[in-house]
Structure 1
Amino acid sequence: MHFDLAHAIVVGIAVSVVIFVMHETGIVKRDREKKFSWKMVLAITVVVFILNLIWPYGP
């Protein structure tokens, strides 16, 4: 099984940046009661999709 560690690290950093930016800009509120947000799901999906278009996983 081939596991591209660099790709996984970059995806993790990209997801962390998206979460940070979404919270800091106020698009998604830091609410302790509500933990799920469709806006966050959509933002992470778009960023990971674009990253995978630029740098596909695997050999």
Structure 2
Amino acid sequence: MGDKLDLYEQDIENNFKKQQKFNNQSEITLLHKSAQIYMSKMSILNVTNRKTKKEFLKG
């Protein structure tokens, strides 16, 4: 059973299966900047119970 993906998720899935590579430095730089912006918007969510304490990234 597969979940139905939206267009954005389907595009990621298709490109992952093709195993596309970044061939030039400008693409790598753009990806790096995008990842930094995405991670800067994340916040840490602490989940604690009696036995464990875990941290998760929350977008």
TM-score (norm 2): 0.37
By percentage of residues, which structure has more helix?
A: 1
Name the structure with the higher strand share: 2
Specify which structure has the bigger relative contact order, considering alpha-carbon pairs within 8 angstroms and separated by 6 or more residues. Answer: 1
